[in-house]
Structure 1
């Protein structure tokens, strides 16, 4: 998951020292959620608290690395968190999560089977995790600046657009885009394929890029300085006023494919409120509740397609876009190969 300023959500914070009492004098259970800083609308949390007579206490992270490092360092008390696919895989392998009780998850019927196919390498049957959001890395073109273009990675070869284009400052995604363009897996560990992809980035795309940028490109796109940006749609849409988005932004995933993140809900090994965690997972996937998440962040109804019946806002892109993406997965020790090639690319950019 990634940072963006798509929407400012006001978060209700509860003091850990104060717990409301039930009518019988009993303390309400507290469900401890470790969540992305913008991910769950207040309306959803409030409805969950009311329905299950509990308190939701939320702590936040802004990257998978922060979340994982905190848990590995021994942080206790959290019941549920929402890692991206590569970290979900790692956490499953390391025994950091509990199994999903499908007898307590009737709304599993709304999970798109195609989303589980994408998770085939680490949890195809939702044994350990439940998909929550799939979002694409792709290309955003400022239509007011670029009138004629091919919707492919070949746009980065165009010298006439040099100085107005950026790609992600992310070695896995940028090298991954080149791998997909060449017909390889985003998660390739093959030396020849990686070399070919790195050479494509360094020799054909890099000369036309202004820079690599993972976060700030949205503001520069909105101001008209950047015309073509490789990245997550939400970063661009979060900066362009909504009444200008239609005329300004063309976001697409090339037919050759791109990277994506699949964030999934997992119940942590030391969770003290397993039943509430299962209730939260099931509640989140009620179509009318999931629609509130989609409306807040404007993601397409890919994971829970039934929710489309209840949405009120147009998504940034359609569910069909996500059919072309491949998840970024943990590549183990091969990450060192990516790092070495990335340092070579970055050196050439200086």
Structure 2
């Protein structure tokens, strides 16, 4: 889930189903509705219409740019949502801060479609599997243009190659940038060791003069347009870029990478609990999940959905559905704690201002 903030009014929905773009206040809430908070461009909007048509429940849909923007709105309670879709490490933080309520899985029977592997992966941040429904998963890797890069690409090291000065795109994200540097040095992406983080910081500083830009979604557009040779990208975005530019190749570096999982959760102050559970059950329907995957191109953990994917290239994509057993050192991000987060953010500011 690495998407830009786009505040849209979904005209096909009822008048009550408008994206506010500034959070849903308690005064604005109504009963026959579900308030959804998700990353931008991270759902097929037609599915929101379909849910309303099938249930009579209006969907008020709001979007966020990053986990770090989402979190304070949930923590403060000023914006009240029924279901939210954060990433692994942020869910771990929300659980520890007592911001979530357990899900009644008996009212989400379609959860049976979620593969056991992804349920087990979610236990790394939701140990008792009480709070989460896996939604999308993927890896972070290197996207490169085969007409601009001649040598074999299998290591994060290429991001420090002087040959590609001003042709490298890095993610403008503290966790992702440090993941690349830490794992390239042989460390865990969840390291809180100051010596290791300082070494990673110095490595990022040494790389900075080679970087064309620190970006988020722009890596997709720039790589499609042949504006850069190499970019750090999320697998779901890589899948889309490859459909638009056949010269692009995606690889998972040999040193390892982040294996991420985004899940739906229910904030503790959610008011429309039953409607929220119905929405989650709807999204876990195999045909719904297949339609959503074809739209957003982020890998679905819904194992029964793949049989309904009509696009054969997507269904059989090794970018979307890699054999993870062939890779080693795939790590899920963990919440590092407030002190470590503050320290890491300070080091990132140091890199950006270098």
TM-score above 0.5, yes or no: yes
Q: CA deviation at 1:13?
A: 4.5
Residue 328, structure 1, aligned to residue 327, structure 2: no
Q: C-alpha deviations, 1:159-215, integer Å up to 9, x for none?
A: 222221122222221111122223322111012322332333333x44533343334
1:312 paired residue number: 310
Larger Rg: 1
1:346 paired residue number: 352
Gaps of 5+ in 1: 19-26
User: Using the alignment, how far apart are the partners of 2:286 and 2:97 within structure 1?
Assistant: 32
Normalised by the size of structure 1, how large is the TM-score? 0.84
User: Using the alignment, how far apart are the partners of 2:191 and 2:48 within structure 1?
Assistant: 40
Q: CA deviation at 1:280?
A: 1.6
Q: C-alpha deviations, 1:253-292, integer Å up to 9, x for none?
A: 2132222542211122222222221122122111111101
Pairs aligned (count): 334
Q: CA deviation at 1:294?
A: 0.4
Query: CA distance change for structure 1 residues 66 and 347 in 2, over 3 Å: closer, same or farther?
Result: closer
Query: CA distance change for structure 1 residues 309 and 188 in 2, over 3 Å: closer, same or farther?
Result: same
2:212 paired residue number: 210
* Partner residue of 2:82 out of 79, 84, 88: 79
Normalised by the size of structure 2, how large is the TM-score? 0.83
User: Using the alignment, how far apart are the partners of 1:17 and 1:228 within structure 2?
Assistant: 40
Residue 62, structure 1, aligned to residue 61, structure 2: no
User: Using the alignment, how far apart are the partners of 2:62 and 2:353 within structure 1?
Assistant: 38
Q: Secondary structure in 1 aligned to 2:304?
A: helix
* Partner residue of 1:225 out of 224, 227, 242: 227
* Partner residue of 2:112 out of 104, 109, 112: 109
Shifted more, 282-291 versus 83-92: the winner is 83-92
Q: 8 Å contact 1:222–1:236 — kept in the other structure?
A: no
- Give the alignment's Cα RMSD to 1 decimal: 3.0
Q: CA deviation at 1:237?
A: 5.8
User: Using the alignment, how far apart are the partners of 1:46 and 1:322 within structure 2?
Assistant: 35
Q: CA deviation at 1:67?
A: 2.5
The within-5 A match list for 1:48-197 is 48-75=51-78, 77-197=80-200
Q: CA deviation at 1:298?
A: 1.2
Query: CA distance change for structure 1 residues 92 and 133 in 2, over 3 Å: closer, same or farther?
Result: same
Q: 8 Å contact 1:83–1:265 — kept in the other structure?
A: yes
Q: CA deviation at 1:334?
A: 0.9
Gaps of 5+ in 2: 19-29
Q: CA deviation at 1:141?
A: 0.1
Q: 8 Å contact 2:13–2:49 — kept in the other structure?
A: no
Q: CA deviation at 1:62?
A: 2.6
